[in-house]
Amino acid sequence: MRRIIASQVSNESIVIAAVECLRKGGLVIFPTETTYGAGVDATNQGAVDKLLAYKSRREGKPLSIAVTNQQMAEQYVALNEQARTLYRQFLPGPMTVISKDLKKVASGVASEFGTLGVRIPDYELVQKIIANLSIPITATSANASGKPRPYNIDHLLKNLSAKQQTLIDLIIDAGELPPNPPSTVIDTTLSVPVTLRGGSAVLLEREQSTEQLKSVTPTETKQIAGRLLLKKWEKIKSSGLVIGLSGELGVGKTVFTSGVAEFLQIDEPITSPTYHYLASYQFNRHGYKGMLHHLDLWKIQSETELERLNIERILHSGSVVIIEWWSQVEAWLLPLIKKSGLAMMVVTISETDNLVGKVTDKLVSNPTGKSTNKLVGKSINKLTSESTSKLTSNSTNKSTKKLIDKSTDYSSGKSVENLYIVSEDNPSEMFSSNRQITIQEI
């Protein structure tokens, strides 16, 4: 392990040494604007495996990469307009923007969701190292998993095992770094950006106790559930997590629970335990074992009935407890959950209808100019005859019919791109049936 004191040598010498080490598959500890980081060539599988061994106990957590600019980022991720806006406004700087992975980095860098976080450091030395290497390096803090964030090299080494220290090839010691917060992590791969970790970057709606997201498909609802679980993974291990699920019948509460189960790597199908109240599933996520408990409390009418379920027995670390029809039992259960010490969030799923296009004889024309699913039929009457006959109301207060066409109902959880609603007052209007998902930290 070589240690370079940055104040004693030129930046040019440091860059040459770091690039040489990285090209040989080495692991470099380097300073950034947030903390000391651990970097390897993000495209070198052996180097990435070495970094994962150094970090230890990652349990499926993804890494991220550091690049010099947006042009370099676009070689490794697919940027949408959300991401491009964040790049323009906040990068270079302490923000990690998650986009769809283009599968050009080594295994273990991108997430299990097929996404990859990208940073553009606001630190000249790191920029020069990446520019001279011409390849992204990993951008993860240098501390081992579960250890304090490192702002001082001596403190870092004291918190590493002897084995971990032997994995380091080069340390760039820039002295004591300011105790800045970590980068803000924003996932731009869903319909609405999701903040997976707060940090020093300033966003208009950052760090609110209530967050609102949008889902346009059951698949996206499952993805949102997975992102939330990843965000709370350390809490699940240390204290456990309770999710109170609210929403009308058929809005997608069980779909959300299926997303939680997929994240926990549970292979069993998830169905709502309406008649027996509780279904429990063992999970083993990357070697960490626990339990998912799924409760449907729709039929509970009194606190006495609730007490008979003895819910206290499942409130412990390593447990994920999902409670459907939370609003019906909140007054009775919330004091018990707070006493247990488990982390708690309330997720409310509601249906929202938005005008997205005009139904014509042969297809849907979308006012946004973006492509959308074609709904083929000789006339609007033919299409509405194939839809359900049940009338529903929407945010426009117009009488409507749900247009199923070749899709299936949202709550079934089957593959479906869009559920449309056709206005009976004006049959040429078509609404998309989206889900608004509101997350409240308790």
Same domain flag for 290 and 422: yes
Show the domain range for 41: 2-184
- Which pLDDT value is given to residue 196? 63
Q: What is the pLDDT of residues 318-372, one digit of tens each?
A: 999 999 999 999 999 999 999 999 999 999 998 875 544 444 433 334 444 443 3
| 193 within a domain of the structure (yes/no) | no
Same domain flag for 174 and 125: yes
249: CATH: 3.40.50.300
Q: Note whether 407 and 416 are within 8 A (CB).
A: yes
The residue whose two tokens read 């060539």 is 41
| 110 within a domain of the structure (yes/no) | yes
Q: Note whether 402 and 177 are within 8 A (CB).
A: no
- Which pLDDT value is given to residue 147? 84
| 287 within a domain of the structure (yes/no) | yes
- Which pLDDT value is given to residue 61? 80
What's the residue count for the chain? 442
Same domain flag for 120 and 245: no
| 199 within a domain of the structure (yes/no) | no
162: CATH: 3.90.870.10
Q: Note whether 37 and 202 are within 8 A (CB).
A: no
Structure tokens at 311: 């819910």
| 334 within a domain of the structure (yes/no) | yes
What's the structural domain count of the chain?
2
Same domain flag for 177 and 263: no
Same domain flag for 434 and 351: yes
Alpha helical stretches, state H, 247-395: 253-263, 303-307, 326-340, 380-386
Same domain flag for 74 and 214: no
| 441 within a domain of the structure (yes/no) | yes
- Which pLDDT value is given to residue 26? 97
Distance CA 417, CA 410 (A): 10
Same domain flag for 304 and 408: yes
Same domain flag for 379 and 422: yes
Same domain flag for 367 and 435: yes
Count the neighbouring beta carbons within 10 Å of the beta carbon of residue 182.
15
What radius of gyration, in Å, describes the C-alpha atoms of the chain?
A: 25
Same domain flag for 319 and 398: yes
Same domain flag for 6 and 111: yes
- Which pLDDT value is given to residue 345? 93
| 192 within a domain of the structure (yes/no) | no
Residues of the chain with pLDDT under 50: 200-208, 355-431
pTM exceeds cut of 0.75: no
Same domain flag for 258 and 370: yes
